[in-house]
Amino acid sequence: MELEPNSLSTAYAIDFTACFGKGGYAATFGARHKSTGEIVAAKAVCIKRVHPDPEKAVALIKREVAMQASLAHANVLKILAHGRGQPPSHDGMYFILMEIMRGGDLFGYIKRAGSVTPMPEATAKVFMRQILAGVSHCHERGVAHRDLKPQNIMLTAKEGGVVKLIDFGLAHQYTRRPDGGYDRSALLIDRCGTRSYCAPEVLAGKGYDGFEADMWSLGSTLFVMLSGFTAVDQAVGVDLTEKLKGDWRFQRLVEVQRKGGSSTTAAYSFYKRTCSHLSDEVIRLIDGLLTIEPFGRLTMRQVFSHPWLEEGDGSGGDGPEARPLVYRSDPGAASEAACEAGCGGRAGHERVSAAEEDDEPLYRAASSGTVESELIDQLIYRGGLELGGDASPSSRRSLRSPASSARELCAEDSDEDGRYRSCSLDFASGLPPLPPLEEQHAFSCLENA
């Protein structure tokens, strides 16, 4: 629901001293509905950082808000209200009020477990069922997320709870056909997403299907959940651009798959590790999702009926009881009640501790040729910085430091934000270092096919 500035300030009280996190163009604060007392999260977006033209900036913000708001589902973060800030103090801000998540993101949950004692399969199964329920709902509505990763999956509780998909800034909406389905005949050509979770056909820049690309990202996410590290740095076999360099890990996976081997087993072997603690069923599921050839990759329907997701209750003691998944092929049959099979119920929304949307800037790997102005606008909206750099995310300025007011966001420079440190072969020892599980930033490389 879009509110006028006066109505927004009348309905909600935002505490600008309670900053849950800051990114390249937005910060998230605690807020309260004045009438009901409901505690919510308020994302304050700096309009001038979104786009130099304020009208275009607001249009881009509203596009993302509208897309996420249209995906009413228990496993998609709910937007409660939005609107421009009240002049004169906050006229340069756009506020998005959302349900609050007290468990942080899935990335933090995985990082707490680490790679030495990875997440139990039973716990991963609870999360995966819910993630699949949310992504399947998006696909049923013709939406490809295109930036699925643990940082874009929020939790209602520290011990797990219900998961919610966030950040639809890179999502693509397919056109609906008269028969109710969606026209996916035209391939998407813009490179977008986060490198370690991007499908190889996305990085290749030669055209891809958004739904198929999401399935690869789901496989990458499941791998990280169970291992604590990424299978590849980026799914690129040869140097494509100055920033998109060939990854030897991916080259090995190409060879392994050509010979009919397991990608999961191979990824563990890169670091002289074994995946003997994983069940055969989950290894086959990950292998099916991380199939390099998109036409051979598991589809959403196949994943829903996969034995690993069907067997056992998967409760694991770390989250809600997970009920069996039910795949719905009817794109129009999208009700929140139907998703209960995957989400395992709702959780209360109480005070949040250091939970935020992953609204880091979108890093641009390269751009050349002529691209549509709308895509350029989207690139500017997501930050438009260069991919790469040597600064570790651990050394970037704190995401948890409180801000005295939302105006600070527009006054500060965002160039200090940490940039992704890629993993490379340690030629001195001859052994590859274990890839650090770092917060990786999304990027967009907009080139002609």
Convert the pLDDT of each residue in 14-46 to its tens digit.
888 888 777 677 888 889 998 898 899 898 989
**How confident is the model at residue 161, as a pLDDT?**
85
Rounded CA-CA distance 258/293 in Å is 10
Find out if CATH 2.30.30.240 is the number for domain 102-407+415-449: no
Q: Which residues of the chain have pLDDT under 50?
A: 314-323, 330-407, 412-431, 445-449
Q: Name, in order, each residue with C-beta under 8 angstroms of 68's C-beta and a sequence gap of 6 or more.
A: 76, 77, 79, 166, 168
Neighbouring C-beta atoms of residue 276, cutoff 10 Å: 7
Are 444 and 192 in contact by the 8 Å Cβ rule? The answer is yes
What does the pLDDT read at residue 329?
54
Tell me, what's the pLDDT at 311? 67
Using an 8 Å Cβ cutoff, are 264 and 283 in contact? yes
Cα 343 from Cα 130, distance rounded (Å): 5
User: Is 15 annotated as catalytic?
Assistant: no
Provide the residue ranges of all domains of the chain, joining segments of one domain with +. 102-407+415-449
Roughly how many angstroms between the first and final C-alpha of the chain, as a whole number?
A: 38
3-state secondary structure the chain: CECCHHHHHHHEEEEEEEEEEECCCEEEEEEEECCCCCEEEEEEEEHHHHCCCHHHHHHHHHHHHHHHHCCCCCCECCEEEEEECCCCCCCCEEEEEECCCCCCEHHHHHHHHCCCCCCCHHHHHHHHHHHHHHHHHHHHCCEECCCCCHHHEEEEECCEEEEEECCCCCCEECEECCCCCEECCCCECCEEEEHHHCCHHHHHCCCECHHHHHHHHHHHHHHHHHHCCCCCCCCCCCCCCCCCCCCHHHHHHHHHHHCCCCHHHHHHHCCCCCCCCCCHHHHHHHHHHCCCCHHHCCCHHHHHCCHHHHCCCCCCCCCCCCCCCCCCCCCCCCCCHHHHHHHCCCCCCCCCCCCCCCCCCEEECCEECCCCHHHHHHHHHCEEEECCCCCCHHHCCCCCCCCCCCHHHHHCCCCCCCCCCCCCCECCCCECCCCCCCCCCEEEEEECC
**What is d(CA 378, CA 177) in angstroms, rounded to the nearest whole number?**
25
Look at residue 291 in the predicted model and tell me its pLDDT: 97
Q: Which of 147, 214, 247, 287 is catalytic?
A: 147
